[in-house]
């Protein structure tokens, strides 16, 4: 697909354009005056469409099995990549850093959740982590979600674990001696994460902290996929000035 663009517009292609997040992204990009949607790449299409239509930035909402190949294609073609697809673990990040090299020409922004509330949840949880002995995460999503735990829950657990370690907080107390497999959740850097897959839910991340005589629950609900779009568009606008790998969107938050 090719459309006329105004020269100051950023030319954007969407990979996974026929999926739930891809469709939402295409609509949001089309509505933005400073952006131009130049390519919609579906599963049957060639990534070369991005090059053919002069995309400067690609937005990827595909599948954990596809995303690495897509991002590597973009890097090699000099196209910046804004990646919302989840399932990018430390090994994959290391591979991307290596491929980008010491003086990267293109930028890659990877965020497991583009909504402002999820970013704030992570910051609040990092701040709370050192003050509580116990912490567990509950990840609730729609039943069509292919990966568990969610990228948001995994990232929150990683950040909490690192904040606890930095503050010298030991392992959470847990006297369990007998348990069915999975009963205590999956451990992400030592933090238990429990995944619910439930009709009627878009996405909810809940972090429960506990210490002597009190608990603190920090939770975030995604009610509509439109909540991700301000973050996606902000990342598209920012990426031409951010060569290399950027994780999360904290740089967009005006927080101390
Ligand atoms: P979906 O299944 O509705 O859409 C994925 C689409 O990608 C499908 O149309 C599929 O055919 C297509 N696809 C797969 N491989 C492809 C390839 N190589 N080239 C082109 N298209 C390809 O899924 P969804 O709900 O849109 O979610 C997509 C991803 O985004 C998931 O990993 C999900 O966890 C993640 N997600 C991230 C955020 C965020 O804020 N970062 C928010 C919601 C979902």
Q: How confident is the model at residue 252 (pLDDT cuts 50, 70, 90)?
A: confident
Supply the residue whose CA is at minimum distance from atom 20 of ligand 1: 43
pLDDT, tens only, 50-61: 999 999 999 999
Distances (CA, A) of 254 to 120, 123, 160, 226, 250: 11, 12, 21, 22, 8
Strand partners, 191: 188
Which residue is associated with the tokens 């399932």?
87
Please compute Rg for the chain using Cα positions: 19
Residue 118 predicted with pLDDT over 80: yes
Place of tokens 């850093």: 97
In this prediction, residues 55-84 reach a mean pLDDT of 97
Pocket test for ligand 1, best of 43, 46, 232 (most atoms within 8 A of CB): 43
What's the whole-number mean pLDDT along residues 187-201?
Answer: 97
Query: HSE-up of 230 (CA within 13 Å, CB side)?
Result: 9
Q: What is the pTM of this model?
A: 0.89
Residue 19 CA to ligand 1 center (angstroms) comes to 6
Answer with the residue of higher pLDDT: 9 or 2. 9
CA 206 vs. chain centroid, Å, equals 16
How close is the Cα of 4 to the center of ligand 1, in Å? 27
pLDDT in tens, 222-248: 999 999 999 999 999 999 999 999 997
Return the closest-CA partner of residue 134 out of 59, 78, 208, 230. 208
Residue 75: pLDDT band (50, 70, 90) is very high
| Residue 6 binned pLDDT confidence (cut-offs 50, 70, 90) | low
Segment 54-74 mean pLDDT: 97
Which residues form the pocket of ligand 1, taking CB atoms under 6 Å from any ligand atom? 15-16, 18-22, 41-43, 61-63, 66, 70, 84-86, 111-114, 151, 228
Mean pLDDT, to the nearest integer, of 181-200? 97
State the distance from the centre of ligand 1 to the C-alpha of 111, rounded, in angstroms: 13
DSSP one-letter string for 140-169 = EE-TT--SSS-HHHHHHHHHHHHHHHHTT-
- Provide the 10 A C-beta neighbour count for residue 138: 19
What local confidence, expressed as pLDDT, does residue 216 receive? 98
Compute the average pLDDT of residues 71-95.
95
Provide the pLDDT confidence category of residue 4 given band limits of 50, 70 and 90: low
List the single range of 10-19, 179-188, 247-256 with lowest mean pLDDT: 247-256
Q: What is the pLDDT of residue 51?
A: 98
Catalytic residues: 141, 145
Which structure tokens are listed for 92?
């994959």
Counting atoms of ligand 1 from 1, which one is nearest the CA of 203? Answer: 43
pLDDT top residue among 5 and 140: 140
| pLDDT band at residue 108 under the 50/70/90 scheme | very high
What percentage of the chain exceeds 90 in pLDDT?
A: 91
- d(CA 214, CA 173) in angstroms, rounded, equals 15
In sign, the C-alpha dihedral spanning 157, 163, 165, 170 is negative
> Whose alpha carbon is nearest atom 30 of ligand 1?
85
Cα–Cα distance for residue pair 211/197, rounded to 1 Å: 28
Sign of CA dihedral 76, 82, 88, 93: positive
- For the CA of 151, the closest atom of ligand 1 is 34
Say if residue 2's pLDDT is above 50.
no
Nearest atom within ligand 1 for CA of residue 147: 34
Average pLDDT over every residue of 204-221: 98
Nearest to 239 by CA among 100, 80, 116, 93: 80
At 206 the pLDDT is: 98
**Which candidate, 198, 202, 243, places its Cα nearest to that of 223?**
202
pLDDT-derived band at 205 (thresholds 50, 70, 90) equals very high
The region, left, alpha or beta by phi > 0 then psi within -120 to 50, assigned to residue 128 is alpha
Determine the distance separating the centroid of ligand 1 and the alpha carbon of 135, expressed in angstroms: 30
Q: What is the pLDDT of residue 1?
A: 46
Distance 123 CA to ligand 1 centre (A): 26
* Side-chain-facing half-sphere of 208: CA atoms under 13 Å: 11
Residue 114 to residue 95: CA distance in whole angstroms: 23
Residues paired with 60 in a beta bridge: 15, 83
Q: Cα(150) to centroid of ligand 1, in Å?
A: 13
Mutation choice for ligand 1 from 13, 16, 222, CB with most ligand atoms inside 8 A: 16
For the CA of 23, the closest atom of ligand 1 is 26
Angle subtended at Cα 189 by Cα 188 and Cα 195, rounded to the nearest 5 degrees: 10
Average pLDDT of the chain?
94
């Amino acid at each position: 697909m090719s459309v006329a663009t105004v020269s100051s517009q950023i030319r954007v292609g969407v990979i996974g354009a026929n999926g739930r997040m891809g469709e939402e992204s295409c609509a949001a990009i089309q509505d933005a005056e400073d952006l131009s949607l130049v390519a919609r790449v579906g599963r049957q299409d060639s990534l070369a469409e991005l090059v053919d239509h002069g995309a400067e930035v690609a937005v990827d909402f595909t599948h954990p099995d596809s995303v690495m190949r897509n991002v590597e294609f973009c890097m090699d073609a000099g196209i910046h990549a804004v990646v919302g697809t989840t399932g990018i673990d430390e090994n994959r990040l290391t591979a991307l850093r290596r491929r980008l090299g010491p003086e990267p020409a293109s930028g890659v922004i990877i965020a497991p959740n583009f909504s402002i509330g999820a970013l704030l949840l992570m910051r609040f949880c990092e701040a709370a982590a050192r003050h509580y002995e116990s912490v567990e995460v509950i990840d609730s999503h729609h039943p069509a979600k292919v990966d568990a735990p969610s990228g948001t829950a995994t990232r929150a657990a990683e950040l909490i674990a690192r904040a606890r370690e930095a503050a010298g907080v030991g392992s959470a107390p847990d006297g369990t001696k007998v348990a069915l497999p999975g009963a205590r959740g999956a451990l992400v850097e030592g933090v238990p994460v429990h995944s619910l897959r439930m009709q009627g839910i878009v996405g909810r991340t809940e972090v429960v902290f506990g210490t002597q005589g009190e608990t603190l629950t920090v939770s975030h609900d995604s009610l509509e996929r439109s909540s991700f779009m301000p973050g996606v568009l902000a990342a598209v606008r920012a990426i031409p000035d951010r060569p290399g790998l950027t994780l999360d969107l904290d740089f967009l938050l005006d927080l101390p």
